[in-house]
Structure 1
Amino acid sequence: MNSYKMLVLDLDGTLTNANKEISTRNREALIQLQEKGVLLVLASGRPTYGIVPLAEELQLEHFGGYILSYNGGEIIDWSNRTKLFENVLPNGVIPHLYACANRHQVAILTYDQQYIVTEHPNDPYVGKEAFLNKMKVRSSANFLKDIRLPLPKCLIVGDPDQLISIEEELSVALEGEISVYRSEPYFLELVPLGIDKAQSLAVLLNKRGIAREEMVAVGDGYNDLSMIQFAGMGVAMANAQEAVKQAADYITLSNEEDGVAAVIERFF
Protein backbone atom coordinates (compact mmCIF):
# COMPACT_ATOMS: atom_id res chain seq x y z
CA MET A 1 0.00 0.00 0.00
CA ASN A 2 1.24 3.50 -0.83
CA SER A 3 2.28 5.75 2.04
CA TYR A 4 0.20 8.86 1.45
CA LYS A 5 1.27 12.02 3.30
CA MET A 6 -1.39 14.55 2.26
CA LEU A 7 -5.18 14.47 1.96
CA VAL A 8 -6.84 17.26 -0.04
CA LEU A 9 -10.60 17.69 0.32
CA ASP A 10 -13.13 19.73 -1.55
CA LEU A 11 -15.88 20.95 0.81
CA ASP A 12 -19.36 21.34 -0.66
CA GLY A 13 -20.61 18.02 -2.01
CA THR A 14 -17.53 16.25 -0.65
CA LEU A 15 -16.64 16.86 2.99
CA THR A 16 -19.98 18.38 3.98
CA ASN A 17 -23.48 16.94 3.65
CA ALA A 18 -26.57 18.69 2.29
CA ASN A 19 -26.80 20.73 5.49
CA LYS A 20 -23.21 21.99 4.94
CA GLU A 21 -22.08 20.05 8.02
CA ILE A 22 -19.28 17.56 8.69
CA SER A 23 -20.67 14.25 9.93
CA THR A 24 -19.42 12.78 13.19
CA ARG A 25 -17.80 9.86 11.38
CA ASN A 26 -15.95 12.12 8.93
CA ARG A 27 -14.82 14.45 11.71
CA GLU A 28 -13.46 11.66 13.90
CA ALA A 29 -11.69 10.01 10.97
CA LEU A 30 -10.01 13.29 9.98
CA ILE A 31 -8.85 14.09 13.50
CA GLN A 32 -7.35 10.61 13.86
CA LEU A 33 -5.68 10.95 10.46
CA GLN A 34 -4.00 14.21 11.46
CA GLU A 35 -2.90 12.69 14.75
CA LYS A 36 -0.96 10.16 12.65
CA GLY A 37 0.89 13.00 10.92
CA VAL A 38 -1.00 13.18 7.62
CA LEU A 39 -1.32 16.74 6.29
CA LEU A 40 -4.89 17.95 5.69
CA VAL A 41 -5.75 20.58 3.06
CA LEU A 42 -9.25 22.04 2.67
CA ALA A 43 -9.53 23.12 -0.97
CA SER A 44 -12.62 25.07 -2.03
CA GLY A 45 -13.97 27.82 -4.21
CA ARG A 46 -15.19 29.46 -1.00
CA PRO A 47 -13.49 32.61 0.32
CA THR A 48 -10.94 31.98 3.06
CA TYR A 49 -13.21 32.92 5.95
CA GLY A 50 -15.97 30.75 4.52
CA ILE A 51 -13.65 27.79 5.19
CA VAL A 52 -12.55 28.85 8.67
CA PRO A 53 -15.46 27.28 10.65
CA LEU A 54 -14.68 23.87 9.12
CA ALA A 55 -10.94 24.38 9.63
CA GLU A 56 -11.55 25.10 13.30
CA GLU A 57 -13.83 22.09 13.66
CA LEU A 58 -11.07 19.89 12.25
CA GLN A 59 -8.34 21.56 14.36
CA LEU A 60 -6.21 22.59 11.38
CA GLU A 61 -4.44 25.21 13.50
CA HIS A 62 -3.32 22.57 16.00
CA PHE A 63 -2.21 20.03 13.42
CA GLY A 64 -0.65 22.46 10.92
CA GLY A 65 -3.15 22.07 8.09
CA TYR A 66 -3.76 24.36 5.14
CA ILE A 67 -6.65 26.32 3.64
CA LEU A 68 -6.72 26.56 -0.15
CA SER A 69 -9.44 29.09 -0.92
CA TYR A 70 -10.88 30.80 -4.02
CA ASN A 71 -10.31 27.60 -6.06
CA GLY A 72 -6.58 27.93 -5.50
CA GLY A 73 -6.34 31.72 -5.47
CA GLU A 74 -4.90 31.63 -1.94
CA ILE A 75 -3.01 29.10 0.16
CA ILE A 76 -2.75 29.78 3.89
CA ASP A 77 -0.84 27.83 6.54
CA TRP A 78 -3.57 27.87 9.18
CA SER A 79 -1.18 27.14 12.06
CA ASN A 80 0.33 30.63 11.78
CA ARG A 81 -1.95 32.38 9.21
CA THR A 82 0.95 32.71 6.76
CA LYS A 83 -0.14 33.27 3.16
CA LEU A 84 2.01 31.06 0.94
CA PHE A 85 0.44 31.98 -2.39
CA GLU A 86 -2.13 34.35 -3.87
CA ASN A 87 -3.51 35.30 -7.26
CA VAL A 88 -5.61 38.48 -7.50
CA LEU A 89 -7.80 40.35 -9.99
CA PRO A 90 -6.23 43.24 -11.91
CA ASN A 91 -7.28 46.43 -10.14
CA GLY A 92 -8.35 48.03 -13.41
CA VAL A 93 -11.15 45.54 -14.12
CA ILE A 94 -13.04 46.20 -10.87
CA PRO A 95 -14.81 49.42 -12.05
CA HIS A 96 -15.83 47.59 -15.25
CA LEU A 97 -17.38 44.73 -13.22
CA TYR A 98 -19.16 47.20 -10.94
CA ALA A 99 -20.55 49.21 -13.87
CA CYS A 100 -21.78 46.05 -15.58
CA ALA A 101 -23.61 44.87 -12.45
CA ASN A 102 -25.24 48.29 -12.01
CA ARG A 103 -26.26 48.46 -15.65
CA HIS A 104 -28.03 45.10 -15.38
CA GLN A 105 -29.42 45.95 -11.91
CA VAL A 106 -27.90 42.95 -10.16
CA ALA A 107 -25.75 42.75 -7.04
CA ILE A 108 -21.96 42.51 -7.02
CA LEU A 109 -20.05 41.46 -3.92
CA THR A 110 -16.56 40.73 -2.71
CA TYR A 111 -14.89 39.73 0.56
CA ASP A 112 -12.98 41.51 3.32
CA GLN A 113 -11.69 39.01 5.87
CA GLN A 114 -14.81 37.65 7.63
CA TYR A 115 -17.24 39.96 5.79
CA ILE A 116 -19.08 39.95 2.48
CA VAL A 117 -19.11 43.52 1.11
CA THR A 118 -21.95 44.70 -1.13
CA GLU A 119 -24.31 47.59 -1.77
CA HIS A 120 -27.20 45.10 -1.78
CA PRO A 121 -27.19 43.43 1.68
CA ASN A 122 -30.83 42.31 1.40
CA ASP A 123 -30.51 40.64 -2.00
CA PRO A 124 -31.67 37.01 -1.63
CA TYR A 125 -28.69 35.69 -3.60
CA VAL A 126 -26.29 37.65 -1.42
CA GLY A 127 -28.05 35.93 1.46
CA LYS A 128 -27.35 32.53 -0.13
CA GLU A 129 -23.63 33.29 -0.33
CA ALA A 130 -23.60 34.50 3.29
CA PHE A 131 -25.40 31.35 4.46
CA LEU A 132 -23.12 29.04 2.49
CA ASN A 133 -19.98 30.58 3.96
CA LYS A 134 -21.37 31.47 7.39
CA MET A 135 -20.14 35.03 6.87
CA LYS A 136 -21.68 38.36 7.84
CA VAL A 137 -22.72 40.90 5.22
CA ARG A 138 -21.30 44.41 5.49
CA SER A 139 -23.41 47.01 3.71
CA SER A 140 -21.57 49.50 1.52
CA ALA A 141 -22.76 52.91 0.40
CA ASN A 142 -20.06 52.99 -2.30
CA PHE A 143 -18.62 49.63 -3.34
CA LEU A 144 -15.61 51.03 -5.21
CA LYS A 145 -14.59 53.23 -2.27
CA ASP A 146 -15.15 50.62 0.44
CA ILE A 147 -13.27 47.67 -1.03
CA ARG A 148 -9.59 47.08 -0.30
CA LEU A 149 -7.54 46.30 -3.39
CA PRO A 150 -6.33 43.96 -4.68
CA LEU A 151 -9.27 41.54 -4.66
CA PRO A 152 -9.03 37.76 -4.96
CA LYS A 153 -12.52 37.50 -6.47
CA CYS A 154 -15.82 39.23 -7.15
CA LEU A 155 -19.21 37.59 -7.48
CA ILE A 156 -22.18 38.90 -9.46
CA VAL A 157 -25.42 37.32 -8.27
CA GLY A 158 -28.93 37.31 -9.73
CA ASP A 159 -31.66 35.31 -11.40
CA PRO A 160 -30.12 32.66 -13.68
CA ASP A 161 -31.75 34.10 -16.81
CA GLN A 162 -30.28 37.52 -16.03
CA LEU A 163 -26.77 36.16 -15.69
CA ILE A 164 -26.70 34.59 -19.16
CA SER A 165 -26.24 37.90 -20.97
CA ILE A 166 -23.91 39.26 -18.26
CA GLU A 167 -21.66 36.21 -18.52
CA GLU A 168 -21.50 36.56 -22.31
CA GLU A 169 -20.79 40.29 -22.11
CA LEU A 170 -17.97 40.01 -19.56
CA SER A 171 -16.41 36.94 -21.17
CA VAL A 172 -15.96 38.88 -24.40
CA ALA A 173 -15.04 42.26 -22.89
CA LEU A 174 -12.45 40.87 -20.44
CA GLU A 175 -11.11 37.93 -22.42
CA GLY A 176 -7.47 37.35 -21.51
CA GLU A 177 -7.77 39.49 -18.36
CA ILE A 178 -9.95 37.44 -15.98
CA SER A 179 -11.92 34.18 -15.94
CA VAL A 180 -15.72 34.34 -15.96
CA TYR A 181 -17.87 31.31 -15.16
CA ARG A 182 -20.92 30.24 -13.17
CA SER A 183 -20.41 28.07 -10.08
CA GLU A 184 -24.19 28.00 -9.58
CA PRO A 185 -26.93 29.17 -11.97
CA TYR A 186 -27.29 32.31 -9.82
CA PHE A 187 -23.56 32.90 -9.05
CA LEU A 188 -21.25 34.43 -11.68
CA GLU A 189 -17.62 34.00 -10.60
CA LEU A 190 -15.14 36.72 -11.60
CA VAL A 191 -11.67 35.44 -10.79
CA PRO A 192 -8.03 35.89 -11.86
CA LEU A 193 -6.76 34.00 -14.89
CA GLY A 194 -5.10 30.69 -14.18
CA ILE A 195 -7.00 29.87 -11.00
CA ASP A 196 -6.62 26.12 -10.63
CA LYS A 197 -6.51 23.84 -7.59
CA ALA A 198 -3.81 21.60 -9.08
CA GLN A 199 -1.42 24.48 -9.86
CA SER A 200 -1.75 25.83 -6.33
CA LEU A 201 -1.30 22.39 -4.81
CA ALA A 202 1.93 21.99 -6.81
CA VAL A 203 3.24 25.10 -5.02
CA LEU A 204 2.29 23.65 -1.63
CA LEU A 205 3.79 20.23 -2.39
CA ASN A 206 7.05 21.88 -3.40
CA LYS A 207 7.19 23.92 -0.19
CA ARG A 208 6.50 20.84 1.91
CA GLY A 209 8.79 18.49 0.00
CA ILE A 210 5.96 16.08 -0.77
CA ALA A 211 5.59 14.29 -4.11
CA ARG A 212 2.24 14.40 -5.89
CA GLU A 213 2.26 10.60 -5.79
CA GLU A 214 1.98 10.94 -2.01
CA MET A 215 -1.22 13.02 -2.24
CA VAL A 216 -4.85 11.89 -2.21
CA ALA A 217 -7.39 14.40 -3.57
CA VAL A 218 -11.15 14.03 -3.19
CA GLY A 219 -13.87 16.05 -4.93
CA ASP A 220 -17.16 16.09 -6.79
CA GLY A 221 -17.26 19.07 -9.16
CA TYR A 222 -15.66 20.29 -12.37
CA ASN A 223 -13.36 22.60 -10.40
CA ASP A 224 -11.95 19.47 -8.71
CA LEU A 225 -10.99 17.78 -11.98
CA SER A 226 -7.47 19.19 -12.17
CA MET A 227 -6.48 18.16 -8.65
CA ILE A 228 -8.03 14.70 -9.03
CA GLN A 229 -6.03 14.14 -12.21
CA PHE A 230 -2.88 15.62 -10.61
CA ALA A 231 -2.96 13.59 -7.38
CA GLY A 232 -1.29 10.25 -6.87
CA MET A 233 -4.75 8.98 -5.91
CA GLY A 234 -7.65 10.96 -7.35
CA VAL A 235 -11.00 10.14 -5.77
CA ALA A 236 -14.49 11.12 -6.92
CA MET A 237 -17.55 11.11 -4.71
CA ALA A 238 -20.47 8.88 -5.72
CA ASN A 239 -22.45 12.12 -6.17
CA ALA A 240 -19.76 13.65 -8.42
CA GLN A 241 -20.26 14.92 -11.95
CA GLU A 242 -19.84 12.11 -14.48
CA ALA A 243 -16.71 13.65 -15.99
CA VAL A 244 -15.14 13.75 -12.54
CA LYS A 245 -15.93 10.08 -11.95
CA GLN A 246 -14.37 9.14 -15.29
CA ALA A 247 -11.17 11.03 -14.44
CA ALA A 248 -10.81 9.52 -10.95
CA ASP A 249 -8.73 6.53 -9.90
CA TYR A 250 -11.39 5.53 -7.38
CA ILE A 251 -15.04 6.35 -6.58
CA THR A 252 -16.02 6.50 -2.92
CA LEU A 253 -19.41 6.75 -1.22
CA SER A 254 -21.49 9.94 -1.49
CA ASN A 255 -21.21 12.98 0.76
CA GLU A 256 -24.36 11.79 2.54
CA GLU A 257 -22.73 8.40 3.24
CA ASP A 258 -19.46 9.56 4.86
CA GLY A 259 -17.50 9.08 1.65
CA VAL A 260 -14.49 10.92 3.08
CA ALA A 261 -14.22 8.54 6.05
CA ALA A 262 -14.45 5.65 3.61
CA VAL A 263 -11.47 7.06 1.69
CA ILE A 264 -9.42 7.33 4.88
CA GLU A 265 -10.26 3.78 5.89
CA ARG A 266 -9.25 2.45 2.46
CA PHE A 267 -6.11 4.43 1.64
CA PHE A 268 -4.68 5.48 5.00
Structure 2
Amino acid sequence: MAYRAIALDLDGTLTNHDKEVTPITRQALMKAQKDGAHIILASGRPTYGIAPIADHLEINKYDGYVLSYNGGKIVKWKTKEEIYSNHLPNDVISILYNYAKEKGHALLGYSGKEIITEMPDDKYVKEESRINKMQIRKINNLMESLEPNPTKLLMTGDPSLMIKAEEELSELVGNRMDVFRSAPFFIELVPRGIDKAQSLNRLLGLIGLTSNDMIAFGDGYNDLSMLKLAGIGVAMANAVPEVRAEADFITKSNEEDGVAFAIQKFCYNTDI
Protein backbone atom coordinates (compact mmCIF):
# COMPACT_ATOMS: atom_id res chain seq x y z
CA MET A 1 0.00 0.00 0.00
CA ALA A 2 1.44 3.34 -1.05
CA TYR A 3 -0.63 5.09 1.65
CA ARG A 4 -1.32 3.45 4.99
CA ALA A 5 -4.02 5.92 6.09
CA ILE A 6 -7.04 6.93 4.01
CA ALA A 7 -8.92 9.93 5.39
CA LEU A 8 -12.38 10.45 3.95
CA ASP A 9 -14.94 13.19 4.21
CA LEU A 10 -18.43 11.71 3.88
CA ASP A 11 -21.05 13.97 2.32
CA GLY A 12 -20.22 14.89 -1.25
CA THR A 13 -17.09 12.73 -1.10
CA LEU A 14 -17.46 9.15 0.08
CA THR A 15 -21.25 9.03 -0.31
CA ASN A 16 -23.40 9.71 -3.36
CA HIS A 17 -26.53 11.88 -3.51
CA ASP A 18 -28.47 9.17 -1.64
CA LYS A 19 -25.88 9.37 1.18
CA GLU A 20 -24.75 5.83 0.37
CA VAL A 21 -21.37 4.24 -0.34
CA THR A 22 -21.60 2.55 -3.73
CA PRO A 23 -20.53 -1.10 -4.14
CA ILE A 24 -17.50 -0.13 -6.25
CA THR A 25 -16.22 2.34 -3.66
CA ARG A 26 -16.89 -0.06 -0.80
CA GLN A 27 -15.00 -2.81 -2.62
CA ALA A 28 -11.97 -0.52 -3.08
CA LEU A 29 -11.96 0.44 0.60
CA MET A 30 -12.39 -3.13 1.79
CA LYS A 31 -9.40 -4.20 -0.30
CA ALA A 32 -7.32 -1.31 1.04
CA GLN A 33 -8.14 -2.30 4.61
CA LYS A 34 -7.24 -5.93 3.96
CA ASP A 35 -3.92 -4.69 2.59
CA GLY A 36 -3.19 -2.81 5.81
CA ALA A 37 -4.66 0.66 5.40
CA HIS A 38 -6.39 2.49 8.24
CA ILE A 39 -9.71 3.98 7.13
CA ILE A 40 -10.43 7.28 8.89
CA LEU A 41 -13.91 8.74 8.46
CA ALA A 42 -13.50 12.48 9.04
CA SER A 43 -16.76 14.41 9.06
CA GLY A 44 -18.60 17.29 10.61
CA ARG A 45 -21.38 14.82 11.41
CA PRO A 46 -22.01 13.72 14.99
CA THR A 47 -20.64 10.29 15.88
CA TYR A 48 -24.09 8.69 15.63
CA GLY A 49 -24.46 10.02 12.09
CA ILE A 50 -21.18 8.39 11.00
CA ALA A 51 -21.82 5.03 12.66
CA PRO A 52 -23.87 3.40 9.86
CA ILE A 53 -21.14 4.08 7.29
CA ALA A 54 -18.39 2.95 9.67
CA ASP A 55 -20.25 -0.32 10.20
CA HIS A 56 -21.01 -0.73 6.49
CA LEU A 57 -17.28 -0.47 5.74
CA GLU A 58 -16.45 -2.81 8.66
CA ILE A 59 -13.73 -0.49 9.90
CA ASN A 60 -14.05 -2.10 13.35
CA LYS A 61 -12.41 -5.23 11.91
CA TYR A 62 -9.46 -3.38 10.41
CA ASP A 63 -8.46 -0.79 13.04
CA GLY A 64 -10.38 2.13 11.56
CA TYR A 65 -11.24 5.42 13.23
CA VAL A 66 -14.07 7.95 13.31
CA LEU A 67 -13.36 11.68 13.54
CA SER A 68 -16.73 13.25 14.29
CA TYR A 69 -17.75 16.87 14.85
CA ASN A 70 -15.10 17.98 12.37
CA GLY A 71 -12.41 16.42 14.54
CA GLY A 72 -13.85 17.37 17.92
CA LYS A 73 -13.95 13.68 18.82
CA ILE A 74 -11.82 10.73 17.76
CA VAL A 75 -13.15 7.23 18.32
CA LYS A 76 -11.29 3.95 17.78
CA TRP A 77 -14.13 2.04 16.17
CA LYS A 78 -13.04 -1.46 17.15
CA THR A 79 -13.36 -0.72 20.86
CA LYS A 80 -15.54 2.45 20.71
CA GLU A 81 -12.88 4.08 22.88
CA GLU A 82 -12.99 7.87 22.74
CA ILE A 83 -9.33 8.75 22.39
CA TYR A 84 -9.78 12.50 22.04
CA SER A 85 -12.56 15.02 22.64
CA ASN A 86 -12.99 18.76 23.03
CA HIS A 87 -15.93 20.97 24.01
CA LEU A 88 -17.33 24.43 23.41
CA PRO A 89 -16.69 26.95 26.20
CA ASN A 90 -19.88 27.13 28.23
CA ASP A 91 -20.09 30.92 28.19
CA VAL A 92 -20.11 31.22 24.38
CA ILE A 93 -23.17 28.99 24.00
CA SER A 94 -25.51 31.72 25.24
CA ILE A 95 -23.92 34.20 22.79
CA LEU A 96 -24.56 31.81 19.90
CA TYR A 97 -28.09 31.16 21.07
CA ASN A 98 -28.95 34.85 21.43
CA TYR A 99 -27.45 35.67 18.03
CA ALA A 100 -29.50 32.94 16.33
CA LYS A 101 -32.69 34.13 18.04
CA GLU A 102 -32.06 37.76 17.08
CA LYS A 103 -31.36 36.94 13.42
CA GLY A 104 -34.03 34.26 13.06
CA HIS A 105 -31.55 31.51 12.11
CA ALA A 106 -32.04 27.90 13.13
CA LEU A 107 -29.63 26.59 15.74
CA LEU A 108 -29.40 22.90 16.55
CA GLY A 109 -27.58 20.53 18.84
CA TYR A 110 -27.38 16.78 19.30
CA SER A 111 -28.74 14.57 22.07
CA GLY A 112 -28.00 10.87 21.72
CA LYS A 113 -29.68 9.73 18.50
CA GLU A 114 -31.63 12.96 18.04
CA ILE A 115 -31.18 16.43 16.63
CA ILE A 116 -32.70 19.00 18.97
CA THR A 117 -33.85 22.45 17.86
CA GLU A 118 -36.51 25.09 18.36
CA MET A 119 -37.01 25.26 14.57
CA PRO A 120 -37.74 21.70 13.38
CA ASP A 121 -39.43 22.87 10.15
CA ASP A 122 -36.38 24.72 8.85
CA LYS A 123 -35.47 23.05 5.54
CA TYR A 124 -31.77 23.01 6.35
CA VAL A 125 -32.39 21.41 9.74
CA LYS A 126 -34.31 18.75 7.83
CA GLU A 127 -31.30 18.33 5.53
CA GLU A 128 -29.06 17.73 8.55
CA SER A 129 -31.58 15.13 9.70
CA ARG A 130 -31.55 13.45 6.29
CA ILE A 131 -27.76 13.42 6.07
CA ASN A 132 -27.30 11.85 9.50
CA LYS A 133 -30.44 9.70 9.52
CA MET A 134 -31.31 11.25 12.89
CA GLN A 135 -34.77 12.22 14.08
CA ILE A 136 -35.54 15.85 14.91
CA ARG A 137 -36.98 16.64 18.32
CA LYS A 138 -38.60 20.03 18.83
CA ILE A 139 -37.75 21.65 22.12
CA ASN A 140 -38.90 24.93 23.66
CA ASN A 141 -35.51 26.16 24.83
CA LEU A 142 -32.29 24.87 23.32
CA MET A 143 -30.20 26.28 26.17
CA GLU A 144 -32.11 24.18 28.68
CA SER A 145 -32.09 21.00 26.57
CA LEU A 146 -28.46 20.69 25.47
CA GLU A 147 -26.38 17.90 26.92
CA PRO A 148 -23.52 19.10 29.15
CA ASN A 149 -20.32 20.13 27.36
CA PRO A 150 -21.43 19.94 23.71
CA THR A 151 -18.70 19.47 21.14
CA LYS A 152 -20.57 21.24 18.37
CA LEU A 153 -23.61 23.33 17.50
CA LEU A 154 -24.83 23.95 13.96
CA MET A 155 -26.46 27.09 12.60
CA THR A 156 -28.41 26.86 9.37
CA GLY A 157 -29.92 29.29 6.93
CA ASP A 158 -30.05 30.65 3.41
CA PRO A 159 -26.53 30.61 1.91
CA SER A 160 -26.53 34.36 1.25
CA LEU A 161 -27.34 35.02 4.92
CA MET A 162 -24.82 32.49 6.20
CA ILE A 163 -21.94 34.40 4.62
CA LYS A 164 -22.75 37.45 6.76
CA ALA A 165 -23.52 35.31 9.82
CA GLU A 166 -20.12 33.63 9.57
CA GLU A 167 -18.41 37.03 9.51
CA GLU A 168 -20.44 38.44 12.40
CA LEU A 169 -20.03 35.36 14.59
CA SER A 170 -16.30 35.31 13.91
CA GLU A 171 -16.11 38.86 15.23
CA LEU A 172 -18.26 38.01 18.27
CA VAL A 173 -16.64 34.77 19.41
CA GLY A 174 -13.80 34.02 17.01
CA ASN A 175 -11.22 34.50 19.74
CA ARG A 176 -12.90 31.79 21.84
CA MET A 177 -13.98 29.18 19.28
CA ASP A 178 -14.00 28.42 15.56
CA VAL A 179 -16.75 29.43 13.16
CA PHE A 180 -16.81 28.21 9.55
CA ARG A 181 -19.14 27.01 6.82
CA SER A 182 -19.01 23.31 5.98
CA ALA A 183 -21.68 23.87 3.33
CA PRO A 184 -23.20 27.09 1.97
CA PHE A 185 -26.15 26.68 4.36
CA PHE A 186 -24.32 25.23 7.42
CA ILE A 187 -22.16 27.12 9.92
CA GLU A 188 -20.12 24.83 12.17
CA LEU A 189 -19.67 26.12 15.72
CA VAL A 190 -16.85 24.16 17.33
CA PRO A 191 -14.05 24.50 19.91
CA ARG A 192 -11.11 26.69 18.96
CA GLY A 193 -8.36 24.95 17.05
CA ILE A 194 -10.49 21.97 16.13
CA ASP A 195 -10.37 20.98 12.50
CA LYS A 196 -9.80 17.81 10.58
CA ALA A 197 -6.07 18.40 10.06
CA GLN A 198 -5.28 18.94 13.73
CA SER A 199 -7.21 15.87 14.81
CA LEU A 200 -5.68 13.78 12.06
CA ASN A 201 -2.22 14.87 13.21
CA ARG A 202 -3.06 13.66 16.72
CA LEU A 203 -4.34 10.36 15.43
CA LEU A 204 -1.47 9.73 13.04
CA GLY A 205 0.98 10.19 15.89
CA LEU A 206 -0.92 7.69 18.02
CA ILE A 207 -0.83 5.01 15.32
CA GLY A 208 2.79 5.61 14.36
CA LEU A 209 2.24 7.27 10.99
CA THR A 210 2.99 10.69 9.50
CA SER A 211 1.01 12.91 7.16
CA ASN A 212 3.11 11.60 4.27
CA ASP A 213 1.55 8.17 4.88
CA MET A 214 -1.95 9.56 4.33
CA ILE A 215 -4.14 10.20 1.32
CA ALA A 216 -7.16 12.42 2.05
CA PHE A 217 -10.39 13.05 0.13
CA GLY A 218 -12.78 16.00 0.39
CA ASP A 219 -15.14 18.38 -1.34
CA GLY A 220 -16.01 21.18 1.13
CA TYR A 221 -14.45 24.14 2.87
CA ASN A 222 -13.86 22.18 6.07
CA ASP A 223 -11.76 19.66 4.12
CA LEU A 224 -9.11 22.15 3.00
CA SER A 225 -6.80 21.74 6.00
CA MET A 226 -7.01 17.96 5.75
CA LEU A 227 -6.13 17.95 2.06
CA LYS A 228 -3.19 20.29 2.65
CA LEU A 229 -1.90 18.08 5.47
CA ALA A 230 -2.00 14.80 3.57
CA GLY A 231 0.79 13.30 1.51
CA ILE A 232 -1.67 13.69 -1.32
CA GLY A 233 -4.88 15.69 -1.07
CA VAL A 234 -7.62 14.61 -3.46
CA ALA A 235 -10.58 16.83 -4.32
CA MET A 236 -13.74 15.45 -5.84
CA ALA A 237 -14.81 16.78 -9.25
CA ASN A 238 -17.87 18.17 -7.48
CA ALA A 239 -15.78 19.99 -4.83
CA VAL A 240 -16.12 23.72 -4.30
CA PRO A 241 -13.65 25.74 -6.44
CA GLU A 242 -11.42 26.66 -3.48
CA VAL A 243 -10.87 22.99 -2.64
CA ARG A 244 -10.18 22.00 -6.24
CA ALA A 245 -7.65 24.82 -6.49
CA GLU A 246 -5.69 23.60 -3.45
CA ALA A 247 -5.81 19.87 -4.15
CA ASP A 248 -2.93 17.79 -5.45
CA PHE A 249 -5.33 15.85 -7.67
CA ILE A 250 -8.94 16.16 -8.80
CA THR A 251 -10.67 12.81 -9.09
CA LYS A 252 -14.06 11.91 -10.51
CA SER A 253 -17.20 13.06 -8.72
CA ASN A 254 -18.87 11.34 -5.78
CA GLU A 255 -21.48 10.07 -8.23
CA GLU A 256 -18.76 8.42 -10.36
CA ASP A 257 -16.85 6.49 -7.66
CA GLY A 258 -14.16 9.16 -7.49
CA VAL A 259 -12.78 7.76 -4.24
CA ALA A 260 -12.31 4.29 -5.72
CA PHE A 261 -10.71 5.77 -8.85
CA ALA A 262 -8.09 7.69 -6.86
CA ILE A 263 -7.36 4.79 -4.49
CA GLN A 264 -6.61 2.56 -7.46
CA LYS A 265 -4.48 5.26 -9.07
CA PHE A 266 -2.40 6.30 -6.08
CA CYS A 267 -2.44 3.27 -3.79
CA TYR A 268 -2.18 0.57 -6.45
CA ASN A 269 -1.01 2.43 -9.57
CA THR A 270 -3.87 0.99 -11.63
CA ASP A 271 -7.19 2.24 -13.02
CA ILE A 272 -10.67 0.86 -12.30
Which TM-score applies when normalising by structure 1?
A: 0.92
Residue aligning to 1:236:
235
**Cα offset for 1:240?**
2.3
In the alignment, what sits opposite 1:131?
A: 130
Distance 2:84 2:105 in 1: 31
How far the C-alpha of 1:96 sits from its partner, in A, is 1.6
Cα gap change, 1:232 to 1:113, in 2 (>3 Å)? same
Matched letter for residue 21 of structure 1: E
The gaps in structure 1 that reach 5 residues or longer are none
In 1, the alpha carbon distance for the partners of 2:199 and 2:61 equals 23
Percent of pairs identical after alignment? 49
Deviates more, 1:85-94 or 1:240-249: 240-249
Letter in 2 for 1:55: A
Secondary structure at the aligned position of 1:30 is classed as: helix
Aligned to 1:69: 68
Residue 146 of structure 2 is matched in structure 1 by: 147
List aligned pairs for 1:174-189, cutoff 5 A: 174-189=173-188
Please provide the CA RMSD for this pair. Answer: 1.9
Aligned match of 2:94 = 95
Q: Could you report, residue by residue, the CA deviation over 1:6-48 in whole angstroms, capped at 9, with x for unpaired residues? A: 1111111211112221111001111122122211001112221
In the alignment of these two chains, the number of paired residues is: 267
> Is 2:262 the counterpart of 1:263?
yes
Cα offset for 1:162? 4.5
CA distance in 2, matches of 1:5, 1:230: 15
| Equivalent position SS for 2:61 | helix
CA drift at 1:151: 1.0
Cα distance in 2 for partners of 1:163, 1:223 equals 15
Residue in 1 aligned with 2:21?
22
- Residue 174 (structure 1) shift: 1.4
Consecutive unaligned residues in structure 2, runs of 5 or more: none
Classify the secondary structure of the residue corresponding to 1:89. Answer: coil
1:200 counterpart residue number: 199
Aligned-pair CA distance for 1:166: 3.7
SS of residue in 2 equivalent to 1:63: coil
Change (3 A) 1:233 1:154: same
Give 1:226 deviation, angstroms: 1.5
In structure 1, what is the Cα distance between the partners aligned to 2:15 and 2:82? Answer: 25
Q: Offset of 1:132 from its aligned partner?
A: 1.3
1: CA distance between counterparts of 2:232 and 2:163?
A: 36
Displacement of 1:164 in angstroms is 5.0
CA 1:187–1:79 in structure 2 vs 1: closer, same or farther (change >3 Å)? same
Runs of 4+ in 1 over 3 A off after TM superposition: 159-169
Per mean C-alpha deviation after superposition, the further-off stretch among 231-240 and 7-16 is 231-240
TM-score by length of 2: 0.90
Q: What one-letter code is carried by the residue in structure 2 that aligns with 1:26?
A: T
The Cα of 1:214 is off from its aligned counterpart by: 1.3
Aligned-partner Cα distance in 2 for 1:168–1:245: 23
